[in-house]
Chain A
Amino acid sequence: MTDVMTSPPPATRPAEPSSGSAIEWVRKNLFSSVGNTIQTLLFTGITLGLIRAILGQVFYEDANWASVATNLRLLMMYNYPSDQIVRVWVSAAIVLLAAGLSLGAWAVEPGYQVRRLGGHLVGIGIVSLVIRVLLPEHTPGVVATVLVVVGVVSVLLGVGVRRLNGNSDRVIPFGSLIAGICALFVAIVWFVPFGQYGLVDGTLIAESGVTVASSTKVPWTVLMVIVVVSHRIGLIVGRIIGSAMRRALSAFWVVGPAFIIFVVLRDPAFDWAHVWSTDIPMGAAFAIGGAALLYATTAPGRAEIARAVGAVIFAGALFNWVAAFFGWYPMLQKARLSFLLLAVAVLLAPAFAGDRATRRRVATMWIVAIAVIHWLITAINTESTLVITAPPFLGGFVLTVGIAYYVMLASFPLGVLLSLARTSRLPIFRVMSTAYIEVIRGIPLITVLFFFSIMLPLFLPKGMGISDLAAVFAGYTVFSAAYMAENVRGGLQSVRRGQYEAADALGLSTVQRTSLIVLPQALRVSIPNLVGQAIAVFKETSLIAIVGGFDLLRIANSTIPNQPDFLGQKRPGLMFISLLYFVFAYTMSKSSQRLEARLKDAQAR
């Protein structure tokens, strides 16, 4: 695979024109005829006019960009207690550490040619200078100065880089690229006077016009160092124990964020007596009993028994859920969930049947899964020692990212199952799944969110509650799964019949055929659509504002404009969050293109 990562430049790419032939190029492509010249002039005029108009919106008469700069913490974390802010830094450090390790372990190496770097720098410089020329009159002087400096320096650097590089195909290693970006970021943090101010713990912590930025400089620097170092470590360790490391990191990306949200950011106050008397014995019982059951049912030739046992447990588990709705007899949520999991695992056991080593592996995986799930449920259900002044302990950008991430993570497998059901030969599955998908797709997201956050709690049985956060998450997942399902179905239809036949002819079971042959191909085809859906999920988290969550939109639209210093200052905040959304959505879109290209290269077809 390594030959694919470096993405060698196509040999046929013509050398970019040097400054001499640049004029030639312009003449040939932009001013070749009268019509072409008119078009060029017209569209240049329109583009410049548009930039001018946008700049007029950005630097309008009484724009106060301090409303964004001083409210950054609010936008990121909402009213997270300021004396506990170190938890936020630890969380960010864990995420960035894992990100760096992952980039290294998967050897993501998008080559960045030196020649292109030069071109990009010149481009940035020219755009900066053009913007400087088009700035409205009442723009703060410092902006103009910065633009001129950035413009001139970029152009000079770019030209210099291209001169030095000549015509060679040198590529900047990804590690150096990361280091460069991190260094730039650290420099910005140290030299640009960001402030923090705003509604922190319900009080204003800064005088107007005074910024308190010192506390973020050092943590950010540490975080950037972590990124660079962890990428390096990921590369080195990945070469030695690649697959084990990738498996561990994949597990982290599934469980880690929940750990961060509900343990690091929230710090559960464990009732240790209860943990010892109930949680641990119950977890152990499920882990050991389930492992023994799975070990027994994965023996070859016991498929019938496994299905029967699985069905019995499944019926019992379903009964538990129904009974809970009528309040017939109480059972811990965790036990209900575990029974359901056990039923599914036993039903699937025949597909994983094998020799002793395989069976032992299945049993071990079960124990690990139960340990993680039980511990997370305990942590999530336990109250927090963290004293939070207002109820939502998550808000701002963290809420956006957290909700979007888990909705994607949960709705993806749900969507895959739905699409498989919809293409199934069994009419009952097909009808149910089609009905679900069509009904959900016919309802606006906002309605689904209202239903889950306002109506659902009314229907829940006595003693079962659902927090706002969980309601939004559940509703959004239900909604998104329908769309995911349709995207995956498109991919499923692209898998040729011969693939099914070849899998059948080799004696693969239906589960094996689906998971090993059909889905991998279908998902590859669906990547662009799935990423499109992921981007939609990310952006539409802004609807959480309407059902009561304090997300970016709500903060920018109503919290900041109500601060005494920034009365009515909506536009800067809204523009800032637009930029934030755009940067993340664009990154996702770009990575999906890269992923597609990489898979296509790997298969060379």
Chain B
Amino acid sequence: MSIADQALTADLAARDDMIVCTGVSKWFDDFQALKGVDVTVKDREVMVVLGPSGSGKSTLIRCINRLEVHQEGSIVVDGIELTNDTRNIERIRSEVGMVFQQFNLFPHLSVIDNITLAPVWVRKKSKVEAEQKAMELLERVGIPEQAQKYPGQLSGGQQQRVAIARSLAMEPKVMLFDEPTSALDPEMIAEVLDVMKDLARGGMTMMVVTHEMGFAREVADRLVFMESGEVVEVGTPEHFFTNPQEERTKLFLSQIL
């Protein structure tokens, strides 16, 4: 372990826990998608989740805001445990932003209405205030001129940037990204990744499922490698790309790099 790595590990250990998953298991009928996963994401940490398809990485981050229900173990987000209590779920969901592979913008609302909807209805902000904030966010993701358009009129990259702005409008403490660039044409991937890098530099706690190794290497504080519902290896980018320990990790990295 290099000196920089040690410094980072020490720094992370000193921070508060943001997401703590302990022994999380999840079944779809007979198929076990998660097998006792333990992962901790620290405050302001960027964690990238790697793994072959079907390894349970999407399922894991979807459990964190209760889009999927885990059957065993516990998930604690910012000190609140996810249980069946609807109030807790709604509270966690409003603290945790999520960006989907398929964008999932609301097609019947204009870009600005997509962004202001949740702040107005969930956070009970005034319309004017919410719109002001929305314009700032659109500025930040670089498409303020598209505010009045509908999602169907935007390119994939622009839609994903709107989706990020929509999540940020809730001022979340954590952002989850579920393969945010997988559905994009190659020339649009960079514009989305740039926004995400900017976000990471701003100190946002992020958990990112992605296949973009360049992004992982440049931005991630730590990487998690998952396979068949288990966490195989956790470590810094340097550790992963120079000196992976597990055979399965080596095999995966040799295939993807």
Contacts and interface: CB of A to CB of B under 8 A. Distances in A.
Interface string A298-322: 0010010000000000000000000
A142 B108 CA distance: 55
Interface stretch (B9-17, B43-51, B96-104, B234-242): B96-104
Contacts of A145: none
B106 A502 contact: yes
B200 interface: no
A520 B113 CA distance: 14
Nearest to B101: A498
B65 A358 contact: no
Question: Main SS of the interface on chain A?
Answer: helix
B150 interface: yes
B104 A501 contact: yes
Interface in B27-78: 65-67
B210 interface: no
| Chain B residues touching A, range | 20 to 34
Interface residues of A, number: 29
Contacts of B100: 498, 501-502, 505
B150 A604 contact: yes
Nearest to A300: B124
B166 A509 contact: no
Nearest to A521: B108
A303 B90 CA distance: 13
B104 A604 contact: no
Given A506-B118, A507-B90, A499 B153 contact: no
Contacts of B153: 603-605
B124 A603 contact: no
Contacts of B67: 501, 504-505
Interface string B93-120: 1101110101011111000000001100
Contacts of A358: 124
A602 to B, nearest CB: 7
Interface in B155-205: 166-167, 170
B94 A498 contact: no
Contacts of A524: 108
A275 to B, nearest CB: 40
Contact of A507 (B105, B108, B118): B118
A516 B113 CA distance: 11
A88 interface: no
Contacts of A520: 108
A516 B116 CA distance: 12
A508 interface: yes
A504 B89 CA distance: 9
Contacts of B170: 506-507
A532 interface: no
A271 interface: no
A508 B94 CA distance: 8
Nearest to B122: A507
Contacts of A300: 124
Contact of B117 (A499, A505, A506, A604): A506
B152 interface: yes
Contacts of B98: 501-502, 505
Nearest to B65: A505
Contacts of B108: 520-521, 524, 603
Contacts of A503: 106
A524 B108 CA distance: 9
A604 B122 contact: no
A501 B90 CA distance: 13
B106 A517 contact: yes
A504 B63 CA distance: 13
B107 A521 contact: yes
Nearest to A515: B121
Contacts of B66: 504
A347 B66 CA distance: 25
Nearest to A358: B124
B121 A508 contact: yes
A252 B67 CA distance: 42
B90 A605 contact: no
Contacts of A512: 121-122
A267 B205 CA distance: 68
Interface string A575-605: 0000000000000000000000000001111
Interface string A494-530: 0010110111111111001000110011001000000
Contacts of B105: 502
Contacts of A260: none
A355 interface: yes
Nearest to A512: B121
A355 B123 CA distance: 10
A506 B150 contact: no
Nearest to B150: A603
Contacts of A506: 93-94, 117-118, 122, 166-167, 170
B130 to A, nearest CB: 13
Contacts of B90: 507, 509
A354 interface: yes
A172 to B, nearest CB: 29
Nearest to B93: A507
A591 to B, nearest CB: 20
A605 B65 contact: no
Residue from B87, B97, B102, B118 with most neighbouring chain A CB atoms (10 Å): B118
A535 interface: no
A504 B107 contact: no
A517 B122 CA distance: 14
A355 to B, nearest CB: 6
Please give me the 8 A-B residue pairs with the lowest Cβ-Cβ distance, nearest first. A605-B152, A507-B94, A502-B104, A505-B98, A498-B104, A506-B118, A507-B93, A354-B124
Given A355-B124, A507-B118, 12 more contacts: A501-B104, A503-B106, A504-B65, A504-B66, A504-B67, A505-B67, A505-B98, A507-B90, A512-B122, A521-B106, A521-B107, A603-B150
29 contacts: A300-B124, A354-B124, A357-B126, A498-B104, A499-B104, A502-B98, A502-B104, A504-B65, A505-B65, A505-B97, A505-B98, A505-B167, A506-B93, A506-B118, A506-B122, A506-B166, A506-B170, A507-B91, A508-B122, A512-B121, A517-B106, A520-B108, A521-B108, A603-B107, A603-B150, A603-B151, A603-B152, A603-B153, A605-B153
Interface of A: 300, 303, 353-355, 357-358, 496, 498-499, 501-509, 512, 516-517, 520-521, 524, 602-605
